[in-house]
Amino acid sequence: MTTSLKLTDICDQFDRLFPQIDVHTHPSLEAVKSARSLLETAIASDAFILDCIEHELALIETSKLGSGLIPFFVQPTTGVQFSFGYWSPGASPGPHVHTAWTLTAVCRNTLNVLTYDTQTAIESGDLVIKKNIDATQGQVGFIHRVCVHEPINTSDRWTWTMHVTSPLDGQPSDEFPSDRFQFEQEQPVISDHPFSEVVRSRQRRVRLRYLRSILMTMSCERSAACLATCDRLGVKSQNHNLLITESPIKAQPYSNAQNRTYKLQRTHADLILKCKRTDTAATLLVDTPNGPEELVEMDPIAEPALQFVSQNLSFSADSLPGELSQLEQYQISETLENLGIYRSYT
């Protein structure tokens, strides 16, 4: 179904449905259900999705990423927050409580959502399953007031969701005095450790690569402009070897000339990398706040390249040493980018 509903249309309707930001009251069940219907129509609209992607790309460009949901847009009048969720296979935030209305739209693939009996959770802290919902693409679920739930991507593909939440969500509620559950809210990256930059780079790359795969399925001036933004922000690859895409694109062999222009620099100059060799593998390790962490294990043939990487803050893909093909040089470089330890530059 194609509609031309835009983000501004949704916001106009939300102004009628929801209290203004300075009025700290919860809307009626009918208002939340109306918003749910609107969102269900909206996510079928390329115009709406592109509005949201443009905001998301602007958010990514600011690098203000962290774990959890990060709003790409906050409606100034109502304070309603719009966020995207990117769920790898098996991903789940675990059981958590919402203390105000929320909408969860499945934009791509599926999402399993367990809801728990709220009263039991309040009284005893025990989690008793109330509903087990398999939400499919295009469906929008809602929470009106307090609810304990646990979404999980039980599929073997990535899931893309949109979350529309009340500005009151996450605030302590008289209806839910228990402190047994975490509130789902933005967790800004606050550590000064160089590894924090790795985490941010991974988040940025996952988002850009997924958005790119969505944009590749569209064909209009705005989607082309968004793709150009993805390119500018450093995701030119069409080898979606980590993500299961909407339109898989066959990997292209890379030439030496292309590898020469594929330049990478470490995401933080103080980030410490080490290469470890065993009989069966070459492993790259990174220093984290919790000690060394194994990043990736490769065939021993990659050892000279990984040693080289651990000793150089910047390099081009064609300079990776060892008995590697041009495609292998490219794939190792791209893997380093996906891991968040290097960023491409021109």
Q: Which residues bind Fe ion (CB under 5 A)?
A: 184
CA–CA dist 272, 251 (Å, integer):
31
- The single residue listed with the structure tokens 């009106």 is 144
Q: What are the angstrom distances between the C-alpha of 336 and each of 47, 146, 292?
A: 34, 42, 17
Nearest residue (CB) to Fe ion, 56 versus 184 = 184
Nearest residue (CB) to Fe ion, 184 versus 197 = 184
Nearest residue (CB) to Fe ion, 98 versus 266 = 98
Closest CB 69 distance from Fe ion, rounded Å: 8
CA–CA dist 206, 198 (Å, integer):
12
Closest CB 93 distance from Fe ion, rounded Å: 7
Q: What are the angstrom distances between the C-alpha of 30 and each of 35, 41, 144, 149, 194?
A: 9, 17, 9, 21, 48
Nearest residue (CB) to Fe ion, 70 versus 317 = 70
Q: Which residues are within 8 A (CB) of 233 and not within 5 positions of it... i.e. 6 or more apart?
A: 57, 60, 61, 204, 208
Closest CB 149 distance from Fe ion, rounded Å: 6
Closest CB 106 distance from Fe ion, rounded Å: 13
Nearest residue (CB) to Fe ion, 98 versus 240 = 98
Nearest residue (CB) to Fe ion, 102 versus 329 = 102
DSSP secondary structure code for residue 169 in this structure: T
Closest CB 97 distance from Fe ion, rounded Å: 8
| 3-class state of residue 22 by DSSP | coil
Q: What are the angstrom distances between the C-alpha of 206 and each of 38, 96, 203, 294?
A: 28, 24, 5, 19
CA–CA dist 272, 266 (Å, integer):
10
CA–CA dist 80, 205 (Å, integer):
26
Nearest residue (CB) to Fe ion, 179 versus 299 = 179
14 phi and psi, to 5 degrees?
A: -65, -35
Closest CB 310 distance from Fe ion, rounded Å: 39
Instruction: Please check whether residue 101 is in contact with residue 169, taking contact to mean a CB–CB distance below 8 angstroms.
Output: yes
Closest CB 68 distance from Fe ion, rounded Å: 10
